[in-house]
Structure 1
């Protein structure tokens, strides 16, 4: 390994074809990888739906949700990330793992979601806390054709952040830790 990775933090993939592989991430204040026990729960919830799914990771950060999705045989992942340093680290991670079905887009997620989209099967919403991005993202996904009947939406947030869910999103699963709440919704037209 080169020195680039020794100066970073890392998380390990919990299951699937990349189980145990390390994902390195930039040590910035906005990068907060989903904890391994939450990822294990999430991908158990998604076990019947993840294979061959087209996924959208709205706030990629460490990229662990996207890479974990590919590890569980998702067909493709589109990862949105605003921080250039973080994008470069994501690119190095997928290159190291020889993953070719993750498309990393260096963009402001809110601006990107304002255009009319193509629906995804599974969408991950785990924005940086305290930046008021969660409910804006939900509105844009619902309004601009990013979801379709039976799309699955994962939301992770701190307990203090209010959550406004559209009426056509049906709560399927939910769990909480001492500081975090996470949910799985299904879009029903």
Structure 2
């Protein structure tokens, strides 16, 4: 499904009310404002100074919202060249220099050299059903700090199979979307 070209806004932090251009791409589904507001309320105590990975970044709204609210840096990974260009253009227009955009398939990217992150946004295209494989690569590949936070967005009624040491912290539903925040704990 295509969202159509348009704009979405950053809802908090120093970039509050900034608009992001959204390209018209099949399957691109920006996280709703209401969901982002809830998520970042949950993350408020831990976001400042955090290193983030926005996997399957799409518009980059989650990562840019994190930067706006004090994250130290965000690595954006997106495979679609039009989405990548829109994301780079948005970051340049907003004068954000702490975001690195990587053009890559998320699965292939996670097979490369790992850099641990304390917060990961895992919101792949719903039709591709990538949650379990990407979560496994994140967990086993050294991409997560010991007590990382992982945000997962999936279709309503579909709680994806995730590593057993990702403990549910908070979750909600909005329309046809299920959103959940997990905390990584050590394996016993």
Q: How does 1:31-180 map to 2 (within 5 A)?
A: 31-159=28-156, 161-180=158-177
In angstroms, what is the RMSD of aligned CA positions? 1.2
Figure out how many residues of one structure are paired with residues of the other and give that number.
183
Given the alignment of the two structures, is residue 10 of structure 1 paired with residue 17 of structure 2, yes or no? no
- Structure 2 gaps of 5+ residues are none
- Structure 1 gaps of 5+ residues are 1-6
Are the aligned partners of 2:119 and 2:150 in contact in 1 as well (CA < 8 Å)?
yes
TM-score by length of 2: 0.94
Aligned mates of 1:160, 1:145 — CA distance in 2 = 30
Query: How far apart are residue 137 of structure 1 and its match?
Result: 0.7
Aligned to 2:184: 187
Query: How far apart are residue 92 of structure 1 and its match?
Result: 0.6
1:103-128 alpha-carbon deviations (Å, 9 max, x no partner)? 00000111011234121010000111
Aligned mates of 2:45, 2:67 — CA distance in 1 = 14
Aligned mates of 2:102, 2:94 — CA distance in 1 = 18
Query: How far apart are residue 177 of structure 1 and its match?
Result: 2.1
